[in-house]
Amino acid sequence: MTKKDKSPGQKWKLLYVDLADPEPTEGLNKQFNFMINKPFFLQSKMYMNRVAECISANNIRLRTLARKNLAQ
């Protein structure tokens, strides 16, 4: 809080929950350019066409596509 000066940081919009647009659950998110809640492979454009795979808890590596592998 600070003294009122009408700076951009002090301007707000009041949005009532019942008037807010629902969070989208499908379709294209234009900001991130991804389809919402739609599973995808992340395929490298290098020549072997490998994909990103989650290895162990927190690592991502390049692996050959295995369509039924949920880690991909």
Binding footprint of another protein on the chain (CB under 8 A): 31-35, 38-48, 50, 52, 54-55, 57-65, 67
Q: Is the dihedral of CA 46, 50, 56, 60 positive or negative?
A: positive
Shortest distance, position 3 Cβ to another protein, whole Å: 30
Minimum distance from CB of 6 to another protein (Å)?
28
Nearer to another protein, 3 or 38 (CB): 38
Considering the complex, what minimum distance in angstroms separates the CB of residue 29 from another protein? 10
Alpha-carbon distance of 68 to 72, in angstroms, equals 8
Q: Could you tell me the CA-to-CA distances from 32 to 8, 12, 71 in Å, in that order?
A: 25, 25, 22
